[in-house]
Chains A and B, each alone.
Chain A
Amino acid sequence: MTQDLTKLTLAAARDGLTKGDFTSRELTQQYLSAMENGREMNSFIVETADIALHMADKADEMIAAGNATGMTGIPIAVKDLFCTKDVHSCAASHILNGFKPKYESTVTANLWHDGAVMLGKTNMDEFAMGSSNETSFYGPVKNPWRALDDKGVLDTKDYVPGGSSGGSVAAVAADMAMAATGTDTGGSIRQPAAFTGLVGMKPTYGRCSRWGMIAFASSLDQAGPITKTVRDAAIMMESMASYDVKDSTSVERIVPNYEHALTGDIRGMKIGIPKEYRMDGMPMEIEKLWQDAIGWMKAAGAEIIDISLPHTKYALPTYYIVAPAEASSNLARYDGVKYGLRVEGDSLDGMYKNTRAEGFGDEVKRRILIGTYVLSAGYYDAYYLKAQKIRTLIAQDFAKAYAQVDVILTPTAPSAAFAMGEKSDDPIAMYLNDIFTVPASLAGLPAISVPAGLSKNAMPLGLHLIGRAFDEETLLRAAHVLEHAAGFTAKPKVWWGEKS
């Protein structure tokens, strides 16, 4: 039997490709079969097998010519939020029905330039608005992980993979892609990575170009990698990041070799533990995992410092003003004229209203209406301006903390993955999933979720590190040590496809 290459890490595959142990075509073909076998998870909206094989052959030529980069020949999944030329790019929304952009996003263009291979476009919450991947027009994504009971019997219920990058994490966790691109507005890379036992990283705002990413909340949206290991995240992050004149908020800074930052040495590093992240009602197992991690980092030579981020509890309600406000502006472009769905009406206005009523799902409509309300005449100061002021206070909390510490350690999410349908009727319960990830988003800081343990019913749990702006290297170095100390090796029990 041939070797199962889909179990490899990205770094191991890179080394195997360079040494000529296997080709990108062989690797890609194995992933295409795994995708076919895992279709019931609904992870991919579109599979791009022909494009993948063509890109794999080009990658094999690059390797043969000695021009390989860290990403050359690596088969990856792309979140449907990224515009990919002539390929379905709809942000999992009906309103972009049939949209095939005539241009490529900068992040994916960077990856293709480095020789990565596109396997397909992954499912997500509609316009990235959700924390469970249940708001997609293309249906929910199933988490490859299912709970185990006391006797070790696998649950028959479906669990959510988290969101909004739910299809991306499910694809990587189920070995249907070696890595995936995600996007994170309030936690959409980190929370789903925690729910599926993966590494998910959001870099500093401005590190990746947003050009060609379908906009949700422009002051928050950032692209980032979803991978099996911290090393893989470092390799992929370096390829995705760039200064881009087409995004005026992308920052002109050298992108370092992030893999070189993984020295394994955090002696003397100062790690902050914010007391405000100790939330009432947080499960004991998450509190315990957090305490364990503090011990691991101390044992590795880090100095643990208690810190305070006093405005933490206001981050989530602040986010739910800022993000819907920006979304209501960004989503005004969907009018049935330029692309996507058109539903006729008795006038131009009637056409707009019918198109948007049919094209947007319930959660997207809810956020557009909230955003329209908080920006409307008479309410702007009371809501939007107030929120932007509190956002300043939240950023100042972090700035004060970073006078004392190098990174901050917290849990990623207040629970493990929950069963499908469990929270879909209660928007605020759903919003609370992002309680630990949103503050860093509002402050534009880089952050990463690392798989660190299992819940009592054997579902993955993640820990979260937040770094200084543009200091992804220290963040990755700390994450790499945390990953090794945690020693997370669990994999989901296969319940899908032909269980070979």
Chain B
Amino acid sequence: MEEQERAEKMSVDKKIVAKIADLARINVPEEQLEPLAGELNNILDWIEQLSEVNTDGVAPMTSVVAFTLPFRADKVTDGGYRDEILANAPSADHGFFAVPKVIE
């Protein structure tokens, strides 16, 4: 299984950087793709040492301290802050956030 994990991890190239930048919605100019790939590979190569740890049968951590998330009653206890919420918007119109046109 460890072998297989290693095989799945390839070093990132320009194409992968462009893809993850697109997923992350960050505009990266063409000439920065190559240097970024280098930087990310350095970090990923360093992280790669984790593959030497045997984690068979180990449960992934889901909660930092041992406790159960509390339940609460399903009712509205607060709200009515439309104007406060919109106060910091770069653009707001008629009580809504305003964005560039998305439908032709």
Contact = CB atoms under 8 A, between A and B. Distances in A.
Interface of A: 98-103, 204-206, 219-220, 245, 248-249, 251-252, 311, 313-314, 317-318, 320-321, 328, 332, 335-342, 344-345, 347-354, 356-357, 360, 365-366, 368-370, 372-373, 376, 378-379, 381-383, 385-393, 395, 427-428, 443-444, 469-470
Contact of A386 (B46, B50, B70, B97): B50
Contacts of B20: 369, 372-373, 376
A389 B60 contact: yes
B88 A379 contact: no
Contact of B49 (A314, A373, A393): A314
B90 A337 contact: yes
A349 B9 contact: no
Nearest to A206: B65
Contacts of B36: 366, 369
A317 B50 contact: yes
A339 B100 CA distance: 15
Contact of B25 (A245, A252, A335): A335
A373 B22 CA distance: 11
A370 B43 contact: yes
B43 A348 contact: no
Q: For B24, B44, B87, which residue has the most chain A Cβ atoms within 10 angstroms?
A: B24
Contact of A378 (B8, B24, B28, B85): B8
B83 to A, nearest CB: 9
Name the 5 nearest CB pairs between A and B, nearest first.
A388-B60, A444-B64, A342-B90, A339-B88, A102-B84
Given A205-B64, A348-B99, A321 B47 contact: yes
Contact of B17 (A99, A369, A379, A386): A369
A370 B40 contact: yes
B24 A392 contact: no
Given A206-B67, A428-B46, A389 B97 contact: no
B65 A352 contact: no
A248 B69 contact: yes
Interface of B: 5, 8-9, 12, 16-17, 20-21, 23-28, 36, 39-40, 42-44, 46-47, 49-51, 53, 55, 58-62, 64-67, 69-70, 72, 81, 84-85, 87-91, 97, 99-102
B50 A376 contact: no
Q: Which DSSP category, helix, strand, loop or mixed, fits chain B's interface?
A: loop
A103 to B, nearest CB: 8
A23 to B, nearest CB: 34
Nearest to B87: A102
A418 B59 CA distance: 39
Contacts, number: 165
A384 to B, nearest CB: 9
A349 B26 CA distance: 10
B47 A368 contact: no
Given A248-B69, A349-B25, A427-B39, 20 more contacts: A99-B88, A100-B88, A102-B81, A102-B87, A205-B64, A320-B46, A337-B89, A338-B85, A338-B88, A345-B100, A348-B101, A350-B100, A353-B26, A370-B40, A372-B20, A382-B5, A386-B5, A392-B60, A428-B43, A444-B65
A381 B4 CA distance: 11
Contacts of B44: 370, 373
A381 B27 CA distance: 27
Nearest to B22: A353
B9 A353 contact: no
20 contacts: A102-B84, A220-B64, A317-B49, A320-B46, A320-B47, A338-B88, A340-B90, A342-B91, A345-B100, A347-B102, A357-B27, A366-B39, A376-B23, A382-B8, A383-B9, A383-B47, A388-B62, A390-B53, A427-B43, A469-B65
Given A357-B26, A370-B43, A379-B8, A391 B61 contact: yes
Contacts of B40: 366, 369-370, 373
A348 B100 CA distance: 5
A339 B89 contact: yes
A447 to B, nearest CB: 14
Nearest to B29: A357
B43 A356 contact: no
Contacts of A388: 60-62
Contacts of A356: 24-27
A113 to B, nearest CB: 19
B46 to A, nearest CB: 5
Contacts of B27: 350, 353-354, 356-357
A248 B27 CA distance: 35
Nearest to A385: B60
Contact of B12 (A373, A387, A395, A469): A373
Nearest to A426: B42
A353 to B, nearest CB: 4
